[in-house]
Amino acid sequence: MAVPKGKVSRARRDKRRSSHWKLAVPGLVKCPKCGALRQSHRMCPECGTYNGRTVKVVEAKTQAE
């Protein structure tokens, strides 16, 4: 029967588990209308369209001078 020889410290245990919680980068796709990158199955933040129709009216961004 397998018995551990000694206590595994918290640091050693947590180093081993550190790779289990890495977050994946969300998949980005191009908006068919404006070409900006957006998350799939979500509204485009630049032009406010989703699935070929306007969902939200987005005001044009202006630079402060």
Give 31-47 pLDDT, tens digit per residue. 999 999 999 999 999 99
Q: Is residue 35 part of a domain?
A: yes
Q: Is residue 38 part of a domain?
A: yes
Q: How many domains does the chain have?
A: 1
Q: Is residue 47 part of a domain?
A: yes
* Full residue range of the structural domain in which residue 41 is found: 27-60
pTM of the model: 0.53
Q: Is residue 3 part of a domain?
A: no
pLDDT over 60 at 65, yes or no: no
The span from the CA of 58 to the CA of 61, in Å, is: 9
Q: Is residue 45 part of a domain?
A: yes
| Mean pLDDT computed over every residue of the chain | 88
Q: Is 39 helix (H, G, I), strand (E, B) or coil?
A: strand
Q: Is residue 8 part of a domain?
A: no
The span from the CA of 10 to the CA of 5, in Å, is: 16
Question: Which residues, other chains included, contact 34 with Cβ-Cβ below 8 Å and sequence gap of 6+?
Answer: 44, 46, 47, 49
